[in-house]
Amino acid sequence: MGAKELDILKLIVGRGLLLTSIRISLGTAIAFAISHLMSDFLCGVSPTDPITFLIIPSLLMAVALIASYALYQSSNFPNLIKLIVRLNLLLRIIIYEEN
């Protein structure tokens, strides 16, 4: 009875990556849309630098994956709802730091 550990791992890491990918997509779209407004302040970099728009989101996804897996490893699953709330708060902090 109950959930298997692999199911819980998929739930935690999957939800973490889903939330992160949604927020990264929105943030990247907004940054791309308003990047031309900041073009006067950039030196030696184009407003839509492809390296920046590819590397930074990839790093954020990697951090979210590591954080989600670490959260899975550190918990002993006494209360899954508390665990999901902690994961959501952790990802909000990561995305807030990005902006």
Where do the domains of the chain lie?
8-35+47-98
Length of the chain: 99
pTM over 0.75? The answer is no
Average model confidence (pLDDT) for the chain? Answer: 82
Instruction: Dump pLDDT digits (tens) for 49-66.
Output: 888 889 999 999 999 999
From residue 62, give the alpha-carbon distance in Å to each of 13, 54, 81: 11, 13, 24
21 burial level (CB within 10 Å; 0-12, 13-18, 19+): middle
